[in-house]
Structure 1
Amino acid sequence: MNPPQHLRGDYRHFQPITTRWHDNDIYGHVNNVTYYSYFDSAVNAYLIAEGGLDIHAGEVVGFVVSSSCDYFASIAFPDAIEVGLRVGKLGNSSVQYELAIFRAGEEQACAAGRFVHVFVERTSNRPVAIPDALRAALASLLSA
């Protein structure tokens, strides 16, 4: 059985990321845990720019409650990369993101992952409905 293809055309938004010298591990490639920081940065940059998320003073914040990543090819500093982003599922208070790491200009992903945000009221940490502006931004990323 062939693994699923993760192609650039499958994603709705792309966030460029600059790899850093300290992202490489002793084996000379970006360490696996660093991919999760790329995913988190891409999602939050999108939510701030497109959904109006106020990470400092907003009443609602997103908590990551689940995540995974599959690796297909190594990347290393100083690779220029882009994180492809789409939404696989949009619920009342949660969203599942589907993400992929691409070397700039390449069609095939080097890694693909997913994570789930649950939106909560900052003061109580209790789930709340996704605010309208965030919901609209997320809905525009729904995969076909």
Structure 2
Amino acid sequence: MAELMQEDFAKIGVDVEIVSYEWGEYLERSKAKDRDGAVLLGWTGDNGDPDNFLAVLLGCDGVEKSNRAQWCNEEFDALIQKAKVLSSQAEREELYKQAQVIFKEQAPWATIAHSVVYMTMRPEVEGYVVHPLGGHIFNQVGLKQ
């Protein structure tokens, strides 16, 4: 991905250097507020709630931690903080939609891709559904008789 991005930047006259580190060092360096350059990371939410993505990865509390963009927008943050404590799904949804508009306008990230998950299995397996959060739930799985 970094090489594809480097090639695209070169087309518009921007010279990009790709630097690689051992994974642990990469993660540590990516948290630095004063780092030079961008990072490439992916994310899989583990509970299905928008807060597990928006607040964790873009909230002001995550700067120098999980917010690798080091982006803190007070209007965005106020919306997600309010949404996370509401019990009404409809009210939460509206606030998260407003927050996403700010995210897209400010563009602290370049969103690149969404993974496609494949699961191989034998034809006699039935009832298995790929879980959107990456887990494997087998209580409805069986074998055709």
**Interval containing the TM-score (normalised by the shorter chain):** under 0.3
Q: Which has the higher contact order (CA 8 A, sep 6+)?
A: 1
TM-score (norm 2): 0.26
TM-score (norm 1): 0.26
Q: Which has the higher strand share?
A: 1
Q: Which has the higher helix share?
A: 2
